[in-house]
Structure 1
Amino acid sequence: MIRVLALLGLAAVGTVVVWKGSIWLEDAADRIATGYGVPGVVQGAVIAAVGSSMPELVSVLLATLLHGEFELGIGAVVGSAVFNLLVIPGVVVLLAGSMETSRSLVYKEALFYMLAVAVLLLTFSLAVIYNPVGGDGPIQGTVTRPLALFPIALYALYVFTQYLDTTEHDSSSGVGVGIRTWLVFAAGLALIVVGVEALVRAAIGFGSVFDTPTFLWGMVVVAAGSSVPDAFVSVAAARAGRHDVSLANVLGSNTFDLLVAVPLGVVVAGALTITFEHVVPMMGFLVLATVVFFAVARTEMLLSRREATLLLALYGLFVVWILAESIGATTVVPT
């Protein structure tokens, strides 16, 4: 019990550090983009997405390179995507009232995000089919750099389509950025690295205590801790009446996480092995969360309090499932 409490404390401290670092990083990134006259489409689809998704990207890199736990990084990204889809809109609606959506958001951003989910699952499937790892144990496959470039190329297409949809472009070259802004950017990144490392260590610790795969804890501990910045950004945008910005931040961050954060771990490491029986349940729940989110966002182009409660209840079931797996009450994920 003492060790569990210590791990909870470590996760809490890591969350606070990630939150503070993300605030510094996103503020500095916004100033850098404005200072150098970066086009709005690039600022929104790339700068803002990278800023809000930096904790997830760092979690993949640290888990992979420092701890040899690539699947923990995948779990953190998938868990973060589930958190973003179910918790952030739910909390925003309960705090700021009903939230309007739009056809552009639902039929462009949401559908492209659904394509991102399918492409990442396809990448893992191709790894199992064409690069199988022999043995009598669970089904495994090696994700190589060429396979990892597949989802990254799709993200490049996403940025390109954003550019094509831009009707106005400010060609101003900007006024430059002072050294203080760059120092804040570097400090924010350093805090995120420290905070995420604490979250990753907490997830590994929980896996050891409960004798369960660490990626299960990455889906909750690392994911929730790294998604706090997105939650605050979305709540602030919704309270300011910018509902599309709030939801677009959620979908844009998820798209970046799936198509860039996870594959980049492979690109940096060279080749990484995944256990298909671990990946499928994770991605399966993400597909369920995506379908539910799309359905409630499309109905009347409005997220109501009742629908927000449904999203939060579904996330509650997700957490219950993770806990049930950890104590052996369910065996959807083989240990």
Structure 2
Amino acid sequence: MFAVATSLLLAAVGTVVVWTGSQSLEGAADDLAAAYGLPVVVQGAIVAAVGSSAPELSSVLLATLLHQEFELGVGAVVGSAVFNLLVIPSAAALIGGALPTTRELVYKEALFYMLAVAALLLTFSMAVIYNPADGSGLPGTVTRSLALFPLALYGIYLFAQYLDTADHGPASSDDVDVVRTWLAFGLGLALIVVGVEALVRAAIGLGEAFGTPTFLWGMTVVAAGSSLPDAFVSIAAARAGRPTVSVANVLGSNTFDLLVAVPVGVLVAGSLTVTFAHVVPMMGYLVLATTAFFAVARTEMLLSGREAWGLLALYGGFVVWLVLESVGALSVVAT
């Protein structure tokens, strides 16, 4: 029990540090977007999204390089993506009122994000087919060449966003101290890295205490704690009357997590092994969450309070599933 209590305390501290870093980062991201005159959708989909995705990127790198737990990092990314889709828009809608969407968000951002989910699953599938490894559960090795596939897709995404920026000509703001703002952005990222390391250590400690795979705790403890920057950015934007930024940040952040954060871990390490029996159920629930989010975002181009509660209930089912896996009551993933 002492080990569990210590891990939970470490997770709480890490969450607070991540939250503090996200406050600095969110304000800096907004100021930088204003300084460079970016359009609203690009501000949410790239500047705020990439900045707020720093915890997920950090979780993959730290789990892989310091702890040799690549699947923990993948679990954190998938769990964070589920949290972002089901919890953050719902909280923004319940706190700031019904959350409107746009056709640009639904038919460009959401559809490209669906493509990102398929691309990452395809990358893992090719690893199992062409680079099988020894062991149970269909393990496969993700090589650097395979990791370039999702990265190339993210390059296409950036190009599409660049075209939007090129067609948009707002005046940049001269009231922003760019140097000081970049320093604040960097400080926020540094705090996030420290906080995420605490979350990763907490997940490993809980996995050892309960005798269950650490990636299960990565999907909950690390994912929820590392998603706070996304929650902070999106809820603050919704309350400020900028729902487009709120939804675009969620989709842009998830796209970055899947197409950049996971492949970067592979590029840094050289090659990493994933177990297909672990990956498929995780990605399967992500597909379910993605489908549900797309359905409610498209319906009347509005996320209502009732729909928000439905998404939260779906996330509740996700947490119950992982808890049952963690205590050994189910073995869909933890085999």
| Alignment TM-score, normalising by the size of structure 2 | 0.93
User: How big is the shift at 1:28?
Assistant: 3.3
User: How big is the shift at 1:32?
Assistant: 4.7
Q: What does residue 297 of structure 1 align with? A: 297
Instruction: Summarize the alignment of residues 65-80 of structure 1 with structure 2, pairs less than 5 Å apart.
Output: 65-80=65-80
Q: Determine if contact 2:34/2:173 at 8 Å carries over to the other structure.
A: no
Q: Kindly provide the CA deviation profile for residues 217-247 of structure 1, in whole angstroms up to 9, marking residues without a partner as x.
A: 0000000001112112111211222222111
Instruction: Summarize the alignment of residues 251-290 of structure 1 with structure 2, pairs less than 5 Å apart.
Output: 251-290=251-290
Q: Determine if contact 2:93/2:305 at 8 Å carries over to the other structure.
A: yes
User: How big is the shift at 1:21?
Assistant: 1.2
User: How big is the shift at 1:301?
Assistant: 1.3
- Give the counterpart letter for 1:283 in structure 2: M
User: How big is the shift at 1:182?
Assistant: 4.2
Q: Matches of 1:202 and 1:305 in 2, distance apart? A: 34
* Secondary structure of the structure 2 residue equivalent to 1:141: strand
Q: What does residue 188 of structure 1 align with? A: 188
State the superposition RMSD in angstroms.
2.0
Q: Kindly provide the CA deviation profile for residues 122-154 of structure 1, in whole angstroms up to 9, marking residues without a partner as x.
A: 00000001111134x221111011110100110
Instruction: Summarize the alignment of residues 123-142 of structure 1 with structure 2, pairs less than 5 Å apart.
Output: 123-135=123-135, 137-142=136-141
User: How big is the shift at 1:204?
Assistant: 0.5
Q: Determine if contact 2:203/2:217 at 8 Å carries over to the other structure.
A: yes
- Give the counterpart letter for 2:128 in structure 1: V
* Secondary structure of the structure 1 residue equivalent to 2:87: helix
- Give the counterpart letter for 2:4 in structure 1: V
1:154 to 1:315, Cα distance in 2 relative to 1, 3 A: same
Q: Determine if contact 2:49/2:230 at 8 Å carries over to the other structure.
A: no
Q: Determine if contact 2:37/2:169 at 8 Å carries over to the other structure.
A: no
Q: Matches of 2:273 and 2:235 in 1, distance apart? A: 38
Q: Determine if contact 2:22/2:232 at 8 Å carries over to the other structure.
A: no
Unaligned runs of 5+ in 2: none
Q: Determine if contact 1:42/1:159 at 8 Å carries over to the other structure.
A: no
Q: Matches of 1:227 and 1:267 in 2, distance apart? A: 23
Q: What does residue 205 of structure 1 align with? A: 205
Q: Determine if contact 1:20/1:188 at 8 Å carries over to the other structure.
A: yes
* Secondary structure of the structure 2 residue equivalent to 1:28: helix
Q: Matches of 1:161 and 1:194 in 2, distance apart? A: 33
Q: What does residue 149 of structure 1 align with? A: 148
User: How big is the shift at 1:33?
Assistant: 5.4
Q: Matches of 1:305 and 1:184 in 2, distance apart? A: 35
Q: What does residue 240 of structure 1 align with? A: 240
**Aligned length, in residue pairs:** 333
Instruction: Summarize the alignment of residues 62-141 of structure 1 with structure 2, pairs less than 5 Å apart.
Output: 62-135=62-135, 137-141=136-140
Q: Determine if contact 1:72/1:218 at 8 Å carries over to the other structure.
A: yes
Q: What does residue 333 of structure 2 align with? A: 333
Q: Kindly provide the CA deviation profile for residues 63-116 of structure 1, in whole angstroms up to 9, marking residues without a partner as x.
A: 000000000000000000000000111111111221111211111111110010
Q: Matches of 1:206 and 1:59 in 2, distance apart? A: 16
| Alignment TM-score, normalising by the size of structure 1 | 0.93
- Is 1:11 matched up with 2:8? no
User: How big is the shift at 1:189?
Assistant: 2.2
Unaligned runs of 5+ in 1: none
Q: Kindly provide the CA deviation profile for residues 167-189 of structure 1, in whole angstroms up to 9, marking residues without a partner as x.
A: 22358697995654444333222
Over the matched positions of the two proteins, sequence identity in percent amounts to: 72
User: How big is the shift at 1:196?
Assistant: 0.3
